[in-house]
Amino acid sequence: MDRSSFRLEGDFGEIRWQEPLSRHTTWKLGGPARALVLPERPDQVAALLRYCQEKQIPLLVLGNGSNLLVRDSGWPGVALKLSKLQQLELSGEKIRAQAGVLLPVLARKTMAAGLAGLEWAGGIPATVGGAVLMNAGAHGGQMAEVVEKVTILNWQGEKEVWSSQELDYGYRSSRLKAARPGVVIEASFRLTPADPVQLQQRAQELLAWRQQHQPLNLPSCGSVFKNPPGGSAGRLIESAGCKGWQEGQIQVSPVHANFFVNLGGGTASEALRLMERVQARVAQVHGIKLEPEVQIVG
C-alpha cells in the first residue's frame, strides 16, 4: 500500500485532510499532514492506534507543537492531536490531567488550590502529554519531580499504567521518549501544600523573567538545542558570534541565542540550514557539538 494514500474508516473523532502542520506548531513551520485527527475520547485514540497499526499508516503524535520541527514536505500519514482531551481533576494533593491540558493551565489551577511544584511551568507552551514525555522543565523545576504515574495506550490500543520510577527520567528525556511504547493519555501528579499567594507571586516573577530574557513575541520552538553537560547552549551560541544570524526568515534571536524565531513566512528548510550553521560554528569555536532539543520529523 502507498502509505501516503489511505482511508480512515472508524470512529476516530474529527479528521482534517491535508492539514498544514504549520497551524499546529509554535514555530509556525511545516508542510501538511495527509490527515490530522482530533479525538475527543481515549477510546477513539485506542481505535485509531489499532487502525494505523493494522494498515501500517505512519503516525505522528502532536502535543502543543512547541518542541517540534516538521519538514516542508509534511507528514505522509496521520498526525494525532490530543488537544480535545481536557479533563482535569484535583483531589487533595493529587492531580489527574488528560494529555491535552495545557501546562500553564495546570500550573494556574494547582497554584490557586494552594499546591506547590509547578510554579515553573506557567510560561511553558506545552501540553501535559508532551511535557511528561520529554521531562519538560525550567527555572530548576522539572516534570520528573512531580509526576506520580502516567497512563499510556500502547500501539495495540491497550491501556498501561507506568509509575514515575519506571519512566527513567533524565535531562529532557524519559523511557517514554526513548522507547516510544505508546501514546500518553493522562498523568497523575503529587504536589505539596503551600500558600497560594506566595505561589502566585513566584510564578509572576518567573514569567516576568521569561518576558525579559526570551523572545516571546515571535514564533519559535523554545530552546533549539539541549544544554551540554555543565554548560548553556545559549551562551555557547552567543559567544561563537551567532546572535542575529539568519537564513531566509528564520533568525537566531538577538534576545536569546538558543531561540530561533520565525520573522514571518519562514520555512522548515531555512530553520534546518540555520541549525546546521550554528552547530558547525559552535563546534569550530568551542569543540562542542550541540544536540537538538527540538524533534525533527517528516
The count of other CB atoms within 10 Å of the CB of residue 277 is 15
> Residue 169: which region, alpha, beta or left (left: phi > 0; alpha: psi -120 to 50)?
beta
Residue 122 to residue 99: CA distance in whole angstroms? 17
Which residues does residue 288 pair with via DSSP β-bridges, in sequence order? none
Residue 76 to residue 27: CA distance in whole angstroms? 20
Residue 239 to residue 231: CA distance in whole angstroms? 12
Question: At a CB cut-off of 8 Å and minimum separation 6, what does 123 contact?
Answer: 104, 138, 206, 207, 210, 216
The count of other CB atoms within 10 Å of the CB of residue 262 is 23
Strand blocks (E) in 5-56: 14-20, 32-38
DSSP state of 4: T
Pairing status of strand 75-81 against strand 32-38: parallel
By annotation, the residues acting in catalysis are 172, 223, 293
What is the number of residues in the chain?
A: 298
